Structure 1
Amino acid sequence: MTAPFSVLLPVYRRDDPVHLERSFTSVTSEQELPPTEVVVVRDGPVGPELTKVLDALVASSPVPVTVVPLERNEGLAIALRQGMEACSYEIVARQDADDVSRPARFAVQVPLVEQGLDIVGSAIEEFDEEPALGAPAHGMVRTPPLTQAEIARAVGFRSPFNHPSVVYRRSAVTRAGGYQDLPLMEDYWLFARMISLGMATGNVREPLVLYRVGAGAYARRGGIRLLRSELELQRRMYTLGVTSALECARNVVLRGGYRLVPEGLRRRAYRADAMRR
């Protein structure tokens, strides 16, 4: 018998109500292995349209839903910390409000955590317009490093997990210090700390999540705010011992420079790098 598990799904005012509904359905009624509960964190006021959709989803959900309301928009790190505290189960799956999980996702990943992994992700497939259920999206597939050794080698230069795809042990996340504030890089910093502690890691080659790229996904990877987070991430990674001084300098130049190039060039560079993996 598969262990019970939670889905953790943060929502904030800029999320699209249609995308939220699709995302929620994909992790509940469409799953071959449905979750035991869904924990939705409402990160501040979300407006009447999102509120209406969220209320309808809670009322019609085939699994129990807990909504954690935050009085104001606190940011992703605090939202996820509050959500983790509300999760009833040791195994927690992350889901974003604009992505779509494939029906087999939890049936594949949850048993891997039961068998000993502390965190497991998967490949993701980009899409602008969602394909029919079960059909390929025909978008770029981002395949992460698969084995623990490959993941440990990769973490010094890039996030070794596609963050919308991860399933993990709540106790392992807590032992690593939980989600900490680092705008737009909260997940990467958590993964680095989990890996530095020697936790059991893995990724699935199959793209179990469809990642929506039509709504400014590449624009969000650039700009001064993200550059500041990038520089702070590199400082923390060096202090933790994840990177050497030379690797830190390399990352500041390459990863930092990537944040400042025009969006079109950033998109091409990112896809070219993904194709080489």
Structure 2
Amino acid sequence: MSEPFSLLMAVYRGDHPVHFAKAFTSSVEAQTRRPAQVVLVQDGPVSPGLEGAIETAIAHSPVPVLHHRIQENAGLAHALAEGLARCEHDIVARMDADDISLPERFAAQLPLIEGGLDLVGTGMLEFLDDDGSIVGRRVPRTAQAEIERFARFHDPFSHPTVVYRRSAVERAGGYQPLGLMEDYWLFARMIHAGARVGNLAEPLLMYRVGDGAYARRGGRAQWSSEMQLQRALRRIGFTTRLQYLRNVLVRGTYRFVPEPIRRRAYRRLIARGSSSDHA
């Protein structure tokens, strides 16, 4: 039986009005299976242009939109926790404010959730900001056992692609701030709590990458978040001591290598899966 679902989006001052409008339209109006509700969390003040784009999207939305404003920017984990609490339905689809959902995305994902899974992601196509050129494809692990093994080394889900049961998210403790790794931290806890998970290899979302996409994956802030994450995964027993040491060495070093090397390493070892995820 088909179940209604909520779409959860968050916007903040750094989002571009045109990108937001495309993300919203592609995930609501253009879907062959539309959400029954949109929860749009505004994380702090935004520009007049983005405010106007939000008002236009709400006015023209074919489904009800709950627009929740947070007075001061509090970060993505807090914004999503606030939004999740306002979703009317147990099935919730995530969407970022600068990506594009392909029309069959929810029609493909929802039957898997309705069939018993708690969390389902998809593959992605990476495209450039300037001319829309496709520059990459991320193919995730699909089976539960593969996902569980890979999760000990890297996030097995692309956050903008996921659909999940709110009840499964809540059982795992919900969204919690953890540097820049709140999505990985949530999904690891869900798997650790026994969530039934899967991925569709088919790319059902277009992920926007700009000139700074790989630069943002490096640096001291990313390294600090990485260390927080690895300590947290080890603390709950999600990783073994050997896996912890491997992750600190490999993933920690990755944050400081030159950007061209980081780009190649990500595409070969991370975006398409790592051959070292069984340690």
Which bin holds the TM-score, normalised by the shorter protein?
over 0.9
CA distance in 1, matches of 2:58, 2:134: 32
Letter of the 1:266 partner, please give it. Answer: R
Q: Quote the residue 2:67 is aligned against.
A: 67
1:262 to partner: Cα distance: 2.4
Q: Quote the residue 2:2 is aligned against.
A: 2
Paired residue for 1:200, among 189, 196, 199? Answer: 196
Q: Quote the residue 1:209 is aligned against.
A: 205
Paired residue for 2:265, among 256, 262, 269? Answer: 269
3-state SS of 1:216 partner: coil
1:130 to partner: Cα distance: 8.6
Paired residue for 1:157, among 153, 178, 190? Answer: 153
Gaps of 5+ in 2: 275-279
Q: Quote the residue 1:234 is aligned against.
A: 230
For 1:74-114, what per-residue CA distance to the aligned partner results, in whole angstroms no more than 9, with x for missing partners?
Answer: 00110000000111100000000011001000000011101
3-state SS of 1:25 partner: helix
- Residue 27 (1) aligns with residue 19 (2): no
Contact 2:13/2:45 (<8 A) preserved: yes
Gaps of 5+ in 1: none
Q: Quote the residue 1:173 is aligned against.
A: 169
Letter of the 2:177 partner, please give it. Answer: D
1:241 to partner: Cα distance: 1.1
Contact 2:17/2:50 (<8 A) preserved: yes
For 1:93-143, what per-residue CA distance to the aligned partner results, in whole angstroms no more than 9, with x for missing partners?
Answer: 0000011001000000011101100000011110115989xxxx6431111
Q: CA RMSD in A?
A: 1.5
- Residue 258 (1) aligns with residue 250 (2): no
Q: Quote the residue 1:93 is aligned against.
A: 93
Q: Quote the residue 1:78 is aligned against.
A: 78
- Residue 37 (1) aligns with residue 33 (2): no
3-state SS of 1:139 partner: strand
TM-score normalised per structure 1: 0.95
CA distance in 1, matches of 2:273, 2:144: 20
Contact 2:139/2:272 (<8 A) preserved: no
Matched pairs, number? 273
3-state SS of 2:205 partner: strand
Runs of 4+ in structure 1 over 4 Å off:
129-132
TM-score normalised per structure 2: 0.94
Letter of the 2:111 partner, please give it. Answer: P
1:31 to partner: Cα distance: 0.2
Identity among equivalent pairs (%): 53
1:156 to partner: Cα distance: 0.5
CA distance in 1, matches of 2:240, 2:54: 46
